[in-house]
Structure 1
Amino acid sequence: MTTVDLHRMTGAYALHALSDDENAAFERHLPGCEPCAQETAELRATAARLGLAATTAPAVGLREQVLRRITTVRQLPPEVPAQAPPVRPGPRTRALSRWALAACLAAATALGGTTVWQYQRAEDARGQAGRAARVTDEVAAVLSAPDARTRGARLADGATGTVVVSRGLDRAVFAVSGMAHPPGGKVYQLWFDDDGTMRSAGLMDPGRSDQAVLLRGAVDGASGMGVTVEPAGGSERPTSAPLALMSFPG
């Protein structure tokens, strides 16, 4: 295998289409070849753009949401028979009516509480689905922006990361592949690098090795980004040495 052959493998490597031997050879070549590293990062970003443009994943738990919402649909009222002649209630009838009224009120209260709970759950599910859809749209907008610029880097344990920045949208996306799960009770936190001052840019999903994360907030002139390991829920300031520091592409 020649060096020329390795230069031609950036596309296949970005799409995980190399054999084990070819993959190992290309990864030995990659750290010493800046053009291949840049081209690989750009091809991975392009593949992510195409994937987001071509697929729409259903919201998590969509089936359960639909089934829950069925219970909140108002049914048609029963047909009301013709009114019977009024009957003057006796003492026993009045007593039974009071008991029946109390039972109806208790049932209505219980059912009303259940309906409110079900309605709230459905509203929460719709809100979560709406927020997820908005984030997906924003990620796709950054990746497909005409002025999108990418920069890639190798992270710990063989993971690779690519940051995509759109100055026009003032937003950035961090795409990572092969990221190890954080230790128990920890999470990966993203940061904007404002000339040495770190500004929180949100958390990564600790259960996913491959993901594209929309950095929270505007780029706002930041010179780069970083990734640290923080306690679950995140920190106001970094509490550990950065796993990665990446300057934003010009």
Structure 2
Amino acid sequence: MTAARDDHTRWEELAAGYALSALEPADEEAFLGHLPGCEVCAELIADAREVMAGLASTAPAVEPPASLRDAIVAAATPRAGLPPSPRQPRRRETRRSRYAAVAVVAAVVLIVVLGVWNVALQLQDRGQEHRLAAAERVMACVEQPGCRAIPLAAAKGGQVPVTALVRGREVSLVADGLPPNDTTGTTYVLWQKTGAADPSPVAAFDVTRDGVAVIDAGRLTDPLGTTEWLAVSHETGREPPAAPSEPVALGTVS
């Protein structure tokens, strides 16, 4: 009976992994061959899924990591060196095993869910901080004498993706919605157009994340009072080209 019990422990461990869709293909194939004739494993799966359904209603759903099966098996396997448990009736062993496996599933799922939830909240808070910092930068410019906030509208319409903040010749950009660029092979470039001269590059810069970014773009090549327009283009290569490609954002200076 002990040998039979030990043999079935493996199936109960796999049942917990199967309930989480965390089995490797070979293990899943073997378990599916065992499942049709095993009432114990079927009940264990049903119990585990009931627990997971309760957890899912209180936290965002996440994809189980590839290492989840190992964590389940490690948690459910008795540690070496512990004395063997006294023999108990089969029904009591089965019930205890089922409760233990379900508890392991619940604990592992809860840890994963709370971990992902915590990261998501941190990222959300960080995004709010970036947006608040950008708004404060714009308001500070508006309130300061000699500082101008120049909106650069999306070249193809839509919301204003960039605001240029210019004080003297110092310029910074508040970008909201510019897609992150490939920092290994592309760059964004700020351009200044004055009089009859060709547009000149002011600075190359990167956008490394979605959402709001504040970029210190250095100094304008000419005084703002002589400027017709400012523009941002997305260029191939890591250096500004001789002339801009089609701008992604452009604003006239009146």
TM-score, normalised relative to structure 1:
0.38
